[in-house]
């Protein structure tokens, strides 16, 4: 710095510098005030129209919802009462041994202590239950703005099946259709189906499913229907016209239901055909033998049914990638069952799509919430908590479960409380 020059020539103490500094301070004050006032302009002049958007984009994508003490404290009191009763029970059991059958008494006490310890461990998550809420609007504002390329992370779905006789192809088809129709950018989504039984029935069923998906996926996205597994959607005993304002919905729904019924007939025909296995084994359309005729000894098979290379829907839009995978098997090698199948899917997906996130589903577990992937991304892509999160578990919901849980499945209790 030259002492002979005016300090204003360097920008220090000049009017321009002061104006920029004051402008920055005012902007920070308005931003701070907007956070306190819920994003409203602090002085009402409306100069910073994008201030609420900036503030919204900085906020977390999820939060823990506090549970009212009036709801959780009564249950905690019940836990304490039960714990006291258990302690009194063990005090009586220990102080009154059965000398005539001491060994049996000791074994029974040890078993009772084991069950008591498992019960106590089960109470910890119920004592401090956690409920979380996600903000999909903030996720969209930050990573999926309209008119701009989506910055959401790619996701690979893994679906595993083995025996189409035990895992009906129609059930697997519904799972795949619910995946292909999720609310997520199609170029960020891929579905890999592992056929560990190398069944031609599964392959042909997947081919039929990919053709039906060209009609089903645009219908789901056009009318925002839930759930997006057709079997369960058409079985719902609800008012399906609620919140629907498009006049063509009824006509399109009837047409789609008819299309699905015809799709079911085609799948049933494939199942009936598979009951009669030819003596020379199955052959493909070009006359070559099906590679999976010998389930324990066959080469690996990969077939891409849908994806960026083709397979547009009826409206000309791209569909998510759908890939059939049957890993190689040789006699004398341990293939590690489902773990080995999952490993094969990871290796295949690493070559084709290499998505940073994976979602694993059984072939009979469909996606009952089309925004489930975005819900997970609210945790994975959150700049505050995303670095600490490596796994997101969605709660399972079972259809046709008796409401009173007479068989003690506790499917709802486990996921709602834990």
Q: Are 74 and 82 in contact (CB under 8 A)?
A: no
Phi-psi region of 129 (alpha: psi -120 to 50; beta: other; left: phi over 0): beta
Q: Are 305 and 275 in contact (CB under 8 A)?
A: no
Instruction: Answer yes or no: do 230 and 245 share one domain.
Output: yes
Position 127 scores a pLDDT of: 85
Position 141 scores a pLDDT of: 87
Find how far residue 80's CA is from the centre of its chain: 36
Q: 199: closest CA among 263, 273, 260? A: 273
In a domain, 126, yes or no: yes
Instruction: Answer yes or no: do 182 and 109 share one domain.
Output: no
Binding-site residues from annotation for Mn(2+): 338, 362
In a domain, 337, yes or no: yes
In a domain, 357, yes or no: yes
Instruction: Answer yes or no: do 114 and 245 share one domain.
Output: no
pLDDT along the chain (418 residues), means of 10: 45 47 63 55 42 61 87 90 93 89 91 92 84 89 86 93 89 93 92 89 91 93 90 84 78 92 93 86 81 83 79 84 90 86 91 91 88 92 84 76 61 52
Which residues, 6+ apart, have CB-to-CB distance to 387 below 8 Å? none
Instruction: Answer yes or no: do 110 and 150 share one domain.
Output: no
Rounded Cα gap, residues 418 and 415, in angstroms = 5
Length of the chain in terms of residues written: 418
Instruction: Answer yes or no: do 76 and 145 share one domain.
Output: no
Instruction: Answer yes or no: do 252 and 118 share one domain.
Output: no
In a domain, 39, yes or no: no
Task: Give the residue from 110, 131, 152 where a domain finishes.
Answer: 131
Instruction: Answer yes or no: do 109 and 154 share one domain.
Output: no
Beta-sheet pairing, 189-195 with 321-326: parallel
Q: Are 201 and 266 in contact (CB under 8 A)?
A: no
- Bridge partners (DSSP) listed for residue 322: 191, 306
Exposed, middle or buried by CB within 10 Å (0-12, 13-18, 19+), for 219?
A: buried
Q: Both tokens of residue 403?
A: 């409401």
Task: Give the residue from 100, 131, 162 where a domain finishes.
Answer: 131
Rounded Cα gap, residues 34 and 52, in angstroms = 7
Position 44 scores a pLDDT of: 39
Instruction: Answer yes or no: do 123 and 225 share one domain.
Output: no
Instruction: Answer yes or no: do 115 and 217 share one domain.
Output: no
* Owning domain of residue 329: 135-417
In a domain, 35, yes or no: no
Which residues, 6+ apart, have CB-to-CB distance to 375 below 8 Å? 134, 136, 369
Across 81-102, b (16+ Cβ under 10 Å) vs e yields eeeeebeeeeeeeeeeeeeeee
Instruction: Answer yes or no: do 235 and 144 share one domain.
Output: yes
Q: Are 220 and 253 in contact (CB under 8 A)?
A: no
Beta-sheet pairing, 131-134 with 62-65: antiparallel
In a domain, 334, yes or no: yes
Number of domains in the chain: 2
Instruction: Answer yes or no: do 126 and 140 share one domain.
Output: no
Rounded Cα gap, residues 353 and 351, in angstroms = 6
Task: Give the residue from 83, 113, 131 where a domain finishes.
Answer: 131
Alpha-carbon distance values, 137 to 134, 228, 344, 374, 376 (Å)? 9, 21, 36, 10, 14
Across 40-64, b (16+ Cβ under 10 Å) vs e yields ebbeeeeebeebeeebeeeeebbee
Rounded Cα gap, residues 245 and 30, in angstroms = 41
Q: Residues 332-347: pLDDT tens digits?
A: 888 888 888 899 999 9
In a domain, 41, yes or no: no
Order of all β-strands in the sheet with 357-362: 301-306, 321-326, 189-195, 155-161, 357-362
Say which residue the tokens 């002085």 belong to. 43
Q: Are 194 and 345 in contact (CB under 8 A)?
A: yes
Phi, psi of 329 (to 5 degrees): -135, 140
Binding-site residues from annotation for UDP-alpha-D-glucose: 160, 166-167, 196, 337
| pTM, two decimal places | 0.76
CATH number at residue 156: 3.90.550
Binding-site residues from annotation: 160, 166-167, 196, 337-338, 362
Instruction: Answer yes or no: do 147 and 237 share one domain.
Output: yes
Q: Give, to the nearest 10 degrees, the angle between helix 51-58 and helix 136-143.
A: 110
Cα angle value 252/235/313 (rounded, 5°): 40
Rounded Cα gap, residues 409 and 326, in angstroms = 34
Position 54 scores a pLDDT of: 52
In a domain, 59, yes or no: no
Q: Both tokens of residue 373?
A: 């992937």
Q: Are 357 and 338 in contact (CB under 8 A)?
A: no
């Amino acid at each position: 710095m030259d002492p002979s020059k005016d300090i204003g020539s360097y920008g220090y103490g000049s009017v321009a510098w002061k104006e920029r500094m004051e402008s920055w301070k005012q902007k920070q004050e308005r931003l701070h005030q907007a956070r306190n006032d819920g994003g409203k302009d602090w002085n009402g002049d409306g100069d910073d129209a994008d201030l609420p958007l900036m503030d919204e984009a900085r906020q977390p994508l999820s939060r823990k919802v506090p549970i009212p003490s009036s709801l959780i404290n009564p249950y905690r009191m019940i836990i304490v009462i039960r714990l006291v009763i258990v302690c009194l029970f063990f005090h009586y059991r220990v102080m009154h041994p059965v000398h005539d059958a001491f060994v049996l008494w000791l074994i029974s006490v040890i078993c009772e202590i084991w069950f008591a310890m498992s019960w106590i461990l089960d109470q910890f998550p119920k004592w401090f239950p956690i409920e979380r809420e996600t903000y999909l609007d903030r996720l969209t504002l930050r990573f999926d703005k309209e008119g701009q390329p989506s910055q959401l992370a790619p996701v690979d779905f893994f679906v595993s099946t083995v025996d189409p006789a035990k895992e009906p192809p129609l059930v697997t088809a519904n799972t795949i259709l619910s995946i292909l129709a999720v609310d997520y950018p199609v170029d960020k989504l891929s579905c890999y189906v592992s056929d560990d039984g190398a069944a031609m029935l599964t392959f042909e069923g997947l081919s039929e499913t990919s053709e039906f998906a060209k009609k089903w996926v645009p219908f789901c996205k056009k009318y925002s229907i839930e759930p997006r597994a057709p079997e369960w959607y058409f079985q719902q005993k609800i008012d399906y016209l609620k919140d629907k304002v498009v006049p063509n919905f009824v006509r399109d729904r009837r047409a789609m239901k008819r299309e699905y019924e015809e799709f079911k007939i085609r799948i049933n025909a494939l199942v009936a055909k598979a009951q009669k296995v030819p003596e020379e084994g199955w052959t493909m359309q070009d006359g070559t033998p099906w590679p999976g005729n010998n389930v324990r000894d066959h080469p690996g098979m990969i077939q891409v049914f849908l994806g960026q290379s083709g397979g547009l829907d009826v409206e000309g839009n791209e569909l998510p990638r759908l890939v059939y995978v049957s890993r190689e098997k040789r006699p004398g090698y341990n293939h590690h069952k489902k773990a080995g199948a999952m490993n094969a899917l990871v290796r295949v997906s690493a070559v084709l799509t290499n998505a940073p996130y994976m979602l694993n589903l059984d072939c009979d577990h469909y996606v009952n919430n089309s925004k489930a992937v975005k819900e997970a991304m609210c945790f994975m892509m959150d700049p505050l908590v995303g670095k600490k999160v490596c796994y997101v578990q969605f709660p399972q919901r079972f259809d046709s479960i008796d409401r009173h849980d007479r068989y003690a499945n506790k499917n709802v209790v486990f996921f709602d409380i834990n």
